[in-house]
Homo-oligomer: A and B are copies of this chain.
């Protein structure tokens, strides 16, 4: 558990924190309403975007054109609250700890259940997240600085524009993890195996080349130390589609609250491409 281990143990009880279906059932009951980092270890967690069908086609095309920041794990039928590809019992109206509700690009509510807001035209997108490849990096013995320091990963807007689709556009946002050179090479190899969760880095080395003026001042998340013998490694980030949605200002949109992801039955190892 990255946060509040003791409270998690008491909330999840005998069912434990690592059984995905059990964790989802506790969340479904409204008994866990915060971040999911450290829950259901080994299982894929997903970013969630729910849009009316009128905007969903454009957004899917946006994801297709920008697969590194927007890797689509699943898309529902309009009005379908189930996501059988990700877990037999998933109900997207109840299974996130906390949601954010947006109207015309403005945040209007942060409920723990969206059953009352559900519409027959809503389409759910689940996008891969870097938790999955971070597990693979750690299992390979690599240390991840922001995890070691108990911080959020530093994120930066770059000067690389994403490919627009309909109203969705904006800069690519990246995460940064510093490594010694040999570990940076290993990190390229490991994350290349996981195209469904951002895949290989998009940049390595000089931050200025992608329009980042100061690594010490991330646009989102927390700064972390980069040691003199380390090289910064940059991956496409799931904040990219969120920023594109905020810019597009759809009449209605629901997302997960930051860090409060959808826990799926998929194992991170199942996403490895070779």
Selected interface stretch from A29-37, A202-210, A211-219, A242-250:
A202-210
Interface string of A135-166 (1 = CB under 8 A from B): 00000000000000000000000000000000
Let me know if A181 and B200 touch, CB within 8 A: no
Let me know if B181 and A209 touch, CB within 8 A: yes
Return the contact of A189 from the options B200, B203, B206, B231 (Cβ within 8 A): B200
Residues in B neighbouring A209, C-beta threshold 8 A? 181, 229
Let me know if A185 and B204 touch, CB within 8 A: yes
Q: Please give the count of copies of this chain that the complex contains.
A: 2
> In the bound complex, what is the Cα–Cα distance between A68 and B203 (angstroms)?
25
Interface string of A173-202 (1 = CB under 8 A from B): 000000001101100110010000000111
| Contacting residues of chain A (246-274) with chain B, CB-CB under 8 angstroms | 274
Tell me, rounded to whole Å, the shortest Cβ–Cβ distance linking A30 to chain B.
Answer: 43
> In the bound complex, what is the Cα–Cα distance between A200 and B181 (angstroms)?
12
| Contacting residues of chain A (2-20) with chain B, CB-CB under 8 angstroms | none
> In the bound complex, what is the Cα–Cα distance between A201 and B181 (angstroms)?
10
Let me know if B229 and A200 touch, CB within 8 A: no
Residues in B neighbouring A181, C-beta threshold 8 A? 203-206, 209
Tell me, rounded to whole Å, the shortest Cβ–Cβ distance linking A187 to chain B.
Answer: 9
Q: Which residues of A come within 8 Å of B, CB atoms?
A: 181-182, 184-185, 188-189, 192, 200-206, 209, 229, 231, 274
What are 10 residue pairs bridging A and B, where the CB atoms are less than 8 Å apart in the complex? Answer: A184-B205, A185-B188, A185-B200, A185-B203, A185-B204, A188-B188, A188-B189, A189-B189, A205-B231, A206-B229
Known: A182-B202, A184-B205, A205-B205. 4 other contacts (CB 8 A): A181-B204, A188-B188, A188-B189, A209-B229
